Amino acid sequence: MTPPREIVQPTGDITAAHQFSVSPSTFQSPISSSSFMASALAHRSAPKQLKPFNTEDIKILLLENVNKTGQDILKAQGYQVEFLKTSLPEDQLIEKIRDVHVIGIRSKTKLTANVLREAKNLLVIGCFCIGTNQVDLDYAAQHGIAVFNSPFANSRSVAELVIAEIITLARQLGDRSNEMHRGTWNKVSNKCWEIRGKTLGIVGYGHIGSQLSVLAEAMGMTVIYYDVVTLMAIGTARQVPTLDALLEEADFVTLHVPETPETKNLISNAQFEKMKTGSYLINASRGTVVDIPALIKAMRSGKVAGAALDVFPNEPAANGDYFTNDLNQWGEDLRGLNNIILTPHIGGSTEEAQRAIGVEVAEALVRYINQGVTTGSVNVPEVTMRSLTLDEPNHARVIYIHRNVPGVLRKVNEILAEHNVDKQISDSKGDIAYLMADVSEVKQDDIKNIRDNLDSLSSRILTRILY
């Protein structure tokens, strides 16, 4: 069994907070501007901002150029925000993560068990993207670290990129453009096609796949899709029963599955064999989904007439001249192929998507830090509860993340029984459970006792008390 974590919070530790002589209602106030106080007085039942400690004690590390919208929301809370444009190699990441309560990343930063083991103060991870495969979600949950992402704010951007790529491949636009850049006029129509009437095969009919389905039909394409789940077809799209059935019928195959052990090399030699001669492959999902040496072989043989790759098994941590054989051993071979579009993982990289993701994830982080609400978390139970209000100055919110074993609720309620529990909610996900309870009329000493008693339970992973 994993030992419970001790969160070390500079002055934010509840024990330290307990030593403050201020009343909880003074201590919890996040914004001390007179306008805030005036409006709070005018609306006594406005939601109360809960804080476990002074906001400026919350340290946040944002990597990978997280959008300014997200930074601004976090800074407005008074948190200490450190911002870096790139991701960090493991040794530097470990050094930095030791100190922070929150980390914000995109797809490049690998938060493995090895890294998270050092993150003694970490409460929450924000993935400012869709994919969460870069985080060891299970390790995080087992240690009471919630993980949030943005499940669909960049879906439209990816779908639009794929539409552009379908036409670009069908018309060999990349090659023609490269030739013109080299001064060569090469006017050809051989093996250049309209996309109207062609069949698009979508593998993975989730947020992106289904959005793409709509756009492709509007362009006159026939859409078929394969998914491990039976899903409602949009428009006149048709679900096919197997991946092979899709590969045999599609003129364009596009991949929109997550990175999982099952999707590793989902498209390899056997699948290229099944594809129609002269068909096209697009991968804007994850680099591990396509066996690249097999793709190179299929393109050289003419089986595959073109490909667009936005994602790669190894991607550099920063922008620069890194797309070489040092990064991926087949890099040069790939670059030497005709009619192949290579892009640096920009499927979701539009102003619209990045701004929306910044807001969505930063707001989820603030809700979690300030109120303990886990709605939208991908690895811990989703729990929400009506906010405490300014009419309830001496209430405290108890959050107890624990192992989902028999008898815990009885023990927790024995501890809380001395107080009036206003409201309480509990839910579990696998072997992790999340309990939230609002207790009324508690004094600083009561808060310390509740925390000490909960901490002493063997089921405890993490206790937080917000007030």
Ligand X SMILES: O=C(O)CC[C@@H](O)C(=O)O
Ligand Y SMILES: NC(=O)c1ccc[n+]([C@@H]2O[C@H](COP(=O)([O-])OP(=O)(O)OC[C@H]3O[C@@H](n4cnc5c(N)ncnc54)[C@H](O)[C@@H]3O)[C@@H](O)[C@H]2O)c1
Q: Which two tokens stand for residue 223?
A: 């859409």
143 as an active site residue: the answer is no
256 as an active site residue: the answer is no
Per DSSP, 49 falls in state P
* Residue 289 touches ligand Y, criterion: CB under 6 A: no
* Residue 206 touches ligand Y, criterion: CB under 6 A: yes
Walk across the sheet containing 460-466 and list its strands: 420-429, 432-440, 396-403, 460-466
Residues 345-364 that bind ligand X (CB under 6 A): 348
- Measured CA to CA, the distance from residue 84 to residue 104 in angstroms comes to 10
> Which residue out of 56, 160, 179, 315 is catalytically annotated?
315
315 as an active site residue: the answer is yes
- Measured CA to CA, the distance from residue 153 to residue 56 in angstroms comes to 29
Site string for ligand Y, 128-147 (x = CB under 6 A): --xx----------------
Exactly one of 51, 106, 403, 451 binds ligand X (CB under 6 A); that residue is 106
* Residue 154 touches ligand Y, criterion: CB under 6 A: yes
Q: Which is nearer to ligand Y, 350 or 404 (CB)?
A: 350
What are the residues facing 201 on neighbouring strands?
224, 253
Q: Which is nearer to ligand X, 106 or 460 (CB)?
A: 106
* Residue 129 touches ligand X, criterion: CB under 6 A: yes
Residue 157 CB, nearest approach to ligand Y (Å): 7
Residue 115 CB, nearest approach to ligand Y (Å): 20
Torsion of CA 450, 455, 459, 464, to 10 degrees: 70
Interstrand relation of 252-255 and 199-203 (parallel, antiparallel or unpaired): parallel
- Measured CA to CA, the distance from residue 89 to residue 110 in angstroms comes to 9
- Measured CA to CA, the distance from residue 327 to residue 311 in angstroms comes to 13
* Residue 263 touches ligand Y, criterion: CB under 6 A: yes
* Residue 208 touches ligand Y, criterion: CB under 6 A: yes
Per DSSP, 26 falls in state H
Q: Which is nearer to ligand X, 154 or 463 (CB)?
A: 154
- Measured CA to CA, the distance from residue 242 to residue 415 in angstroms comes to 54
* Residue 154 touches ligand X, criterion: CB under 6 A: yes
* Residue 223 touches ligand Y, criterion: CB under 6 A: no
Size of residue set near ligand Y by CB under 6 A: 31
229 binding partner (options ligand X, ligand Y, none; Cβ < 5 to 8 Å by kind): ligand Y
Q: Which residues are catalytic?
A: 286, 315, 345
